[in-house]
């Protein structure tokens, strides 16, 4: 992958129940790419891992390798306990919503989904039926809702439908705001919970970091730089020549948070200044509570009667339990993407990328190559980096404050002196430079890349690369072995030959790959 291209993070298959995703919302942003520590890049072998710029160390150093894993004498670090779960509200007051706000959501739910039993209304809105029942009684008193049929189970099994007057009221509410789904969480509750699951509180030890980077060979000195940065929970500036591991560092830190950072909670939506802002994004947030929701009756079942019986439980179902998120964005980032995304037709908002990354990692890759000027982008981050909060503006012009609780990483292959001034660098607590590999390091990278592709290593290939290219002025990159070997595999496949490394084959790959354009 060329350095000018937008880098692709690891992918995952998000899992969520059918009931939970009935949100009439604008499409989620395609800019951010999620990270999943369980997925792999594949080549000609099912065991191939992408070793892009893996910061390999010399064989003499005490490094962790993909083949050996962590030292068997070291106990594997224990994953941190999940963040405290939001408690299920027992009364309408505890939801933070007014009866009017809840009633509007009930009306829109019936307007969109048609006749529903009481239990299904509660499932869609994600609140206990006892609270939903207050709204249904009020709407029935106003002759906006009627009971279409009943069952001996009780009101939770009654079928509710809109009256003619109720349909008109629901249509007006729907046109005013087309959000339909889980009830929003008041911004005050969201802010309070963000403080309970910030990155700064994540325990980070050398053993845990080594476990997170176990598929790579990483210099102990690099771990010593990364560890304090994670413990601080502050910003990191990673710089150096292209192709030497800046993106992999961010992904490795994301894997660390996924493995040992504990699970956190994110709401489907929040209510700020009487406006709805969606936060949960299935394209970014990797859920871990699907089995729990299934057991609690929050998914569709084969029999209608079983859907009456909702196990409300102790957790507020307006929140999802997730792995700590890792959001990666690159050259396409603009200032507009860091603001609320407003849908004029739906009349509600989607949270910007960095808010969706709260509790996790937000990487700005290829910093300095964005369409927006670096200075303007940096100015946008000064207040969040300094105060740990961000101020967002609604379409009406009103502002509100949200926590800025994430490990933010700026990654660039440009000269930092050309991008940032001293005022900004002062706010970046940790600066880490990634240099090109030495010949010894390059050799280890090449050897491991061969092993992981089931290719027999040939020492003369590396000798030839240095004799014809690197010793003559071309700077080696940690990603070169991977790229050259993938090209070699393609050439051999085209000629219907087994992959056998020769100096001539690698030289042909190098001439194509390093060719002047």
Confidence (pLDDT) at 280: 97
Confidence of residue 231 (pLDDT cuts 50, 70, 90): confident
Sign of the Cα pseudo-torsion (464, 465, 470, 476, in order): negative
Tens digits of residue pLDDT in 140-166: 999 999 998 766 567 888 999 999 999
Instruction: Calculate mean pLDDT across residues 72-91.
Output: 73
With H, G, I as helix, E, B as strand and everything else as coil, classify residue 321.
strand
C-alpha to C-alpha distance for 172 and 156, rounded to whole angstroms: 27
Lowest mean pLDDT among 57-66, 424-433, 479-488: 57-66
The torsion angles phi and psi of 87, rounded to 5 degrees, stand at: -80, 140
Cβ neighbours, 10 Å, residue 308: 20
* The most confident of 291-305, 342-356, 368-382, 400-414, by mean pLDDT: 342-356
pLDDT classification of 217: cutoffs 50, 70, 90:
low
Question: CB of 325 within 8 A of CB of 284?
Answer: yes
**Looking at the predicted structure, is the pLDDT value of residue 73 above 60?**
no
Written as six digits, the tokens of 175 are 């046109």
* Cα–Cα dist 266/256, whole Å: 19
Instruction: Report residue 447 CA to chain centroid gap.
Output: 32
CB atoms within 10 A of CB 494: 8
Two tokens at 249?
Answer: 């560092």
- Percent pLDDT > 70 in the chain is 79
Burial classification of residue 134, based on how many CB atoms lie within 10 Å of its CB (0-12 exposed, 13-18 middle, 19 or more buried): middle
Overall average pLDDT of the 290-314 stretch: 61
β pairing state of 269-272 and 185-186: parallel
Question: How large a percentage of the chain has pLDDT more than 90?
Answer: 44
CA–CA distance, 147 with 136 (Å, rounded to integer): 10
Q: How many CB atoms lie within 10 A of CB 299?
A: 16
Nearest to 278 by CA among 344, 174, 342, 350: 350
Q: Higher model confidence: residue 414 or residue 516?
A: 414
- Gap between the terminal Cα atoms of the chain: 16
Q: How far is CA 124 from the centre of its chain?
A: 25
**pLDDT above 70 (res 213):** yes
């Amino acid at each position: 992958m060329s350095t000018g291209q937008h880098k692709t993070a690891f992918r995952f298959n998000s899992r969520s129940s059918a009931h939970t995703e009935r949100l009439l919302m604008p499409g989620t942003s395609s800019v951010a790419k999620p990270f999943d520590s369980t997925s792999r890049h594949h080549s000609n072998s099912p065991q191939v891992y992408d070793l892009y710029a893996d910061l390999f160390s010399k064989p003499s150093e005490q490094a962790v390798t993909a083949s050996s894993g962590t030292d068997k004498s070291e106990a594997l670090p224990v994953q941190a306990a999940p963040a405290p779960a939001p408690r299920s509200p027992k009364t309408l007051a505890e939801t933070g919503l007014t009866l009017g706000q809840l009633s509007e959501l009930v009306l829109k739910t019936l307007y969109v989904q048609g006749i529903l039993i009481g239990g299904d209304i509660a499932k869609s809105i994600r609140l206990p039926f006892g609270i939903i029942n207050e709204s249904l009684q009020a709407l029935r008193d106003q002759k906006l809702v009627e009971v279409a049929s009943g069952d001996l189970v009780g009101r939770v099994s009654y079928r509710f439908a809109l009256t003619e007057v109720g349909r008109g009221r629901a249509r007006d509410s729907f046109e005013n705001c087309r959000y339909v789904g889980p009830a929003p969480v008041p911004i005050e509750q969201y802010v309070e919970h963000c403080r309970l699951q910030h990155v700064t509180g994540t325990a980070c030890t050398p053993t845990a970091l080594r476990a997170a980077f176990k598929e790579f060979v990483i210099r102990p000195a690099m771990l010593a730089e990364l560890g304090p940065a994670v413990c601080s929970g502050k910003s990191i500036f990673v710089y150096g020549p292209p192709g030497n591991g800046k993106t992999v560092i961010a992904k490795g830190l994301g894997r660390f948070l996924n493995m040992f950072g504990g699970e956190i909670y994110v709401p489907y939506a929040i209510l700020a200044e009487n406006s709805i802002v969606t936060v949960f994004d299935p394209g970014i947030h990797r859920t871990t509570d699907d089995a729990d929701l299934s057991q609690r009756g929050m998914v569709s079942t084969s029999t209608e009667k079983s859907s009456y019986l909702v196990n409300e439980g102790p957790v507020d179902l307006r929140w999802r339990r997730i792995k700590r998120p890792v959001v990666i964005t690159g050259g396409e980032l603009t200032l507009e993407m860091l603001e609320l995304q407003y849908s004029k037709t739906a009349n509600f908002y989607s949270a910007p990328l960095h808010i969706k990354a709260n509790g996790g990692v937000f990487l700005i890759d290829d910093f300095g190559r964005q369409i927006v000027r670096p200075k303007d982008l940096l100015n946008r981050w000064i207040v969040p980096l300094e105060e740990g909060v961000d101020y967002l503006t609604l379409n009406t012009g009103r502002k509100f404050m949200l926590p800025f609780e994430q490990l933010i990483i700026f990654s660039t292959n440009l000269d930092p002196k050309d991008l940032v001034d001293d005022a900004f660098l002062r706010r970046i607590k940790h600066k880490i430079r990634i240099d090109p590999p030495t010949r010894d390091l390059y050799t280890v990278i090449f050897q491991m890349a061969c092993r992981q592709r089931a290719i027999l290593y040939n020492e003369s290939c590396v000798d030839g690369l240095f004799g014809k290219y690197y010793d003559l002025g071309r700077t080696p990159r940690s990603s070169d072995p991977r790229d050259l070997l993938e090209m070699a595999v393609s050439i051999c496949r085209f000629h219907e030959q087994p992959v056998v490394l020769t100096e001539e084959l690698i030289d042909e790959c190098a001439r194509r790959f390093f060719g002047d354009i």
